[in-house]
Amino acid sequence: MTYETGASGRKARDLGLRMGDLPNGPLNAITDVAGVRVGHVTLIEGEGDLVRGEGPVRTGVTVIMPRDEPWNQPLFAAPHRLNGNGEMTGLEWVRESGTLNSYIGLTNSHSVGVVRDGIIAHEALHRPQGEDFWSLPVVGETWDGALNDLNGFHVKQEHVLEAIANARGGHVAEGSVGSGTGMVCHGYKGGIGTASRVVADEDGGYTVGVLVQANHGRRQRLTVDGTHIGDAITLPDDEQASFPGDTDAPRAPGAQQGVTVPEGSGSIIVIVATDAPLLPHQCERLAQRAVIGVGRVGGAGENGSGDLVLCFSTANERMPGVFDREAGREFQATALNNSKIDPLFYAAIEATEEAIVNSMLAADTMVGINGNTRYALPHDQLLELVKR
């Protein structure tokens, strides 16, 4: 298990890459939105050839807690889909009710069920014994089969409970941690990334925080801080042949050894949090703008990609639970005037863009199953290319 509490010093803004005009929060993370906590459990074990059920293991689980007991105090929320070749459970009830009623889990594609069950088990432990309840947790996934023994099912319920127990505010570990351990972004080692933006006082002073699980994109399309990077960066395996089976393909930079799926077949999960008082339809609008940040880095929502966004607002704290029999007939909620929402759009775009880049900047080169290697994005080459 890995959990880092200090600042990484490897974020885009730490390296002089601003990505927009708005200031970031003090942590430059989703946890700049008060009350939001993040917990990781990282599973790294073994090396060499793949033996199903034994490893090598390069995976994990990440849990985002919007508040302590969202099943008792839901949050206004809404999802958005750029491309749907992916999974995020519980979204039908989020759409129907306009609320988020659970913690948010992230993991690999074949561990969604166990993470969902683990979140329900945790909720059961915190509800009165014998209480009848149902739960539809939100759990998102991306595929880590290039580096991880995906079908060995190494994520267990105990890891989910541990991630919840580890969850805290403060600096969020990024890169190859938690559910991002085995992920690849734009051909480089990716994973978890986070960033935040704060709008001006005259616009409400609200914070927008974003956390991504970045496992998407083509290397040829990578753009950082407005500079198209493409294949300009040199990696050690750039003399390798192209994808297995592409016998007629020329040698190409960024050849992906040991993977038969084409580039662009990955996915990204984007979680957007804000303390601005947004209603569900406004959360959906903010979630939509996050995909502009995905596009700024070069993501295109390809046919084989699962690009899913969920946005929630922490502002209204006294909403009743789904079946709260003691709640009154009505409750009061505060909402932002739609004509004042543009600064939040810009904040979501900028924070998403940086969070994706942060996921690569924080990740180190990783060797996984069968010796498959995914290289870190080289900071020195990147900074030379984007030098103003």
Which are the catalytic amino acids?
267, 305, 307
Q: Are 23 and 197 in contact (CB under 8 A)?
A: yes
Quote the CA–CA distance of 348 and 150 in Å, as a whole number. Answer: 32
Alpha-carbon dihedral angle through residues 114, 120, 123, 129, given to the nearest 10 degrees: -120
Measured from the Cβ of residue 49, the count of other Cβ atoms closer than 10 Å reads 11
Give 8's contacts (C-beta < 8 A, 6+ positions apart): 14, 171, 173, 174, 175, 362
Measured from the Cβ of residue 332, the count of other Cβ atoms closer than 10 Å reads 8
Residue 139 forms beta bridges with which residues? 105
Q: Are 357 and 193 in contact (CB under 8 A)?
A: yes
Written as one string, the DSSP assignment of 140-197 is: EEE--TTTS-GGG----HHHHHHHHHH-BSS----BSSGGGTT-EETTEE-EEEEEEE
Place of tokens 């809404």: 78
Quote the CA–CA distance of 18 and 44 in Å, as a whole number. Answer: 33
Edge-to-edge strand order for the sheet containing 75-84? 99-100, 75-84, 306-313, 267-274, 207-215, 191-198
